[in-house]
């Protein structure tokens, strides 16, 4: 989280420096908003780099994955939009161990958790007027997942099975991800709406030790609404 905060501060300082010379010319705008999305398909999979390769468990994933979070953006010359997001997502899954009977025990685990991701995006807006298509991309500045695991151990070495439970909390960092986005923005006097389609390419999670990871290719319809609190009520320039 500290690393994400430092990176966010760096980019915000950079954006501020870029915009400083434009302030007097009124060629940049700042907006704030929210965005929500829905990941298409199953976004999680077992992580082959988790160290469970000898007897990998059997997974069952939950099926509903929505995303939501705040955004802040700077638009330069009414064309280039630089946007930072904080994206919240909940997830859940269950897994059952596949160790052989000779191990003397089996494990059934349920996991509930959430993640925070921090995309930084740059898009270019085409055309003129109040409705403009845009296209661009970006990357994740970082992120974390926080999970609560409830593990049920069944020991079979005695005449009667012995069941014990253990609850643990884990936190893992997310690997790098890259985004390609495209959509349309409708601009009104003080707010805009932004439907878009986002493609995300996740790199392999080789270091966190998490037993699950994001699938490498994901599509997400996203709907955003932003507000321009500092914009004048004068007619918008074309």
Give the CATH number of the domain where residue 212 resides: 2.40.160.20
Please check whether residue 199 is in contact with residue 192, taking contact to mean a CB–CB distance below 8 angstroms: no
Domain of 205 in residue numbering reads as: 2-227
Report the alpha-carbon distance of residue 148 to residue 38 in Å, rounded: 23
Residue 90 in any domain: the answer is yes
DSSP structural state of residue 56: P
Residue 9 in any domain: the answer is yes
pLDDT in tens, the chain (238 residues): 555 555 555 555 555 555 454 444 457 889 999 999 999 989 999 998 887 766 788 899 998 789 999 999 999 888 899 999 999 999 999 999 888 777 777 889 999 999 999 999 999 999 888 899 999 999 999 899 999 999 988 887 777 777 888 899 999 999 999 999 999 999 998 899 999 999 999 999 999 989 999 999 999 999 999 998 876 554 444 4
Characterise 57 by phi-psi region: left (phi > 0), alpha (psi -120 to 50), beta (else): beta
Residue 48 in any domain: the answer is yes
Residue 236 in any domain: the answer is no
pTM listed for this prediction: 0.82
Residues in the chain: 238
What are the Cα distances from residue 175, in Å, to 75, 111, 123, 140, 141?
Answer: 28, 20, 23, 9, 9
Please check whether residue 236 is in contact with residue 210, taking contact to mean a CB–CB distance below 8 angstroms: no
| Residue 216 confidence (pLDDT) | 96
Tokens of residue 7, six digits: 């990176």
Residue 233 in any domain: the answer is no
Alpha carbon 63 to its chain centroid, in Å, reads: 17
What is the count of structural domains for the chain?
Answer: 1
Residue 232 in any domain: the answer is no
Please check whether residue 220 is in contact with residue 200, taking contact to mean a CB–CB distance below 8 angstroms: yes
- For the four alpha carbons of 140, 142, 148 and 149, in that order, the dihedral sign comes to positive
- The helix or strand, by DSSP H or E, that contains position 60, with its residue range, turns out to be strand 58-61
Residue 235 in any domain: the answer is no
206 CB neighbour count, 10 Å cutoff: 12
Residue 234 in any domain: the answer is no
| Residue 133 confidence (pLDDT) | 96
């Amino acid at each position: 989280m500290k690393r994400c905060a430092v990176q966010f501060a760096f980019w915000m300082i950079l954006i501020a420096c870029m915009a400083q010379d434009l302030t007097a010319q009124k060629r940049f705008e700042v907006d704030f908003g929210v965005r929500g999305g829905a990941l298409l398909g199953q976004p999680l999979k077992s992580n082959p780099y988790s160290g469970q390769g000898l007897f990998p468990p059997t997974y069952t994933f939950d099926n509903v994955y929505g995303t939501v979070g705040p955004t802040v953006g700077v638009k330069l010359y009414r064309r280039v939009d630089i946007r930072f997001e904080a994206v919240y997502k909940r997830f859940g899954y269950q897994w059952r161990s596949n160790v052989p009977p000779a191990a003397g025990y089996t494990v059934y685990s349920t996991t509930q958790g959430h993640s925070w991701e921090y995309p930084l995006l740059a898009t270019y807006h085409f055309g003129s007027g109040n409705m403009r298509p845009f296209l661009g991309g970006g990357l994740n500045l970082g992120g974390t997942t926080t999970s609560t695991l409830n593990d049920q151990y069944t020991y079979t070495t005695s005449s009667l099975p012995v069941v014990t439970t253990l609850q643990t909390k884990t936190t893992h960092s997310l690997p790098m991800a890259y985004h390609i986005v495209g959509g349309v923005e409708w601009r009104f006097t003080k707010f805009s709406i932004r439907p878009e389609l986002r493609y995300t390419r996740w790199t392999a999670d080789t270091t966190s030790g998490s037993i699950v990871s994001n699938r490498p290719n994901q599509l997400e319809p996203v709907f955003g609404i932003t507000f321009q609190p500092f914009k004048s009520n004068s007619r918008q320039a074309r």
